[in-house]
Amino acid sequence: MPGQKGRKYLLEHNYRDLLKNINDAAGRSGRSPDSVRLIAVTKTVGVEEVQRAAGLGITDFGENRVQEAAPKVKQMPELRWHFIGHLQSNKVKDVLPYYSLIHSLDRPSLLKALQQCAERYNRIVEVLVQVNTSGEESKFGLAPEKLTRFLEEVSACNRIRVRGLMTMAPFVDNPEETRPCFNVLRRLRDENAAAGWELPELSMGMTNDYTVAIEEAATMIRIGSALFN
């Protein structure tokens, strides 16, 4: 296994490669690379590795399991933490105090739990609505045709602020096959924006497919193994 210096070099190397790929993909779609936010997914790495990543200038970090993430999140509250996994309603109280954005609002019961908990904490909760654009039964998220109605439900909750949409594409060998999933999310954003909904953020794209996601207008990409392995 690489030593401390080796791990630091590998992280720096991976980060440089990511920035280059982000820059190239943004250029292909006529966008500034500054319009893409890198979220470093740290579910498999410890506190020291997170600190190294923060030292490189990364400010946004994502976790998807409440209990496993708790020590890192509590130890480094100065970082911007994103909850990117499926969120159980009974875990909302453990997430709200520490995370700046929840990427996985996908059902009325979770909306109700977030609203109630936000009232107790006297705060506004920023969220993304998760949409299942692949149609896979194994994935969470609203069916695309239910999005507008759900946004109307969210608008009745004065403690919840929707910042955009999130999706997960299938894991496939050819990243180009994920493009339709990202295209659907972008079109949903555009259609609902035309109806008056402000949805500036599109969280889509992971290690295997993030360049395609950027080409399809992703504003947030969730990267784990391409950064830390």
Radius of gyration for the alpha carbons in the chain, expressed in angstroms and rounded: 17
3 state DSSP class of 95: helix
Residue showing tokens 């996985």? 104
Q: What is the pLDDT of residue 36?
A: 98
Burial of 172 (0-12, 13-18, 19+ CB in 10 A): exposed
pLDDT confidence band for 6 (50 / 70 / 90): low
Residue showing tokens 């009325």? 108
pLDDT tens across 170-195, in order?
999 999 999 999 999 999 999 999 99
User: Which neighbouring-strand residues pair with 102?
Assistant: 83, 127
Burial annotation 134-166 (CB, 10 A radius, 16+ → b, else e): beeeebebbebeebeebbeebeebebbebbbbb
Structural domains in the chain, sorted by start = 4-228 (3.20.20.10)
Rounded Cα distance, 25 and 19, in Å? 10
Q: What is the pLDDT of residue 194?
A: 92
Q: What is the pLDDT of residue 59?
A: 96
- pLDDT for residue 3 is more than 80: no
Mean local confidence (pLDDT), 57-86: 96
Q: What is the pLDDT of residue 5?
A: 62
Q: What is the pLDDT of residue 7?
A: 72
Tell me the residue type at 106: D
Q: What is the pLDDT of residue 125?
A: 97
pTM of the prediction?
0.94
- pLDDT for residue 204 is more than 90: yes
Mean local confidence (pLDDT), 24-39: 97
Angle 75-161-104 from CA coordinates, rounded to 5°: 60
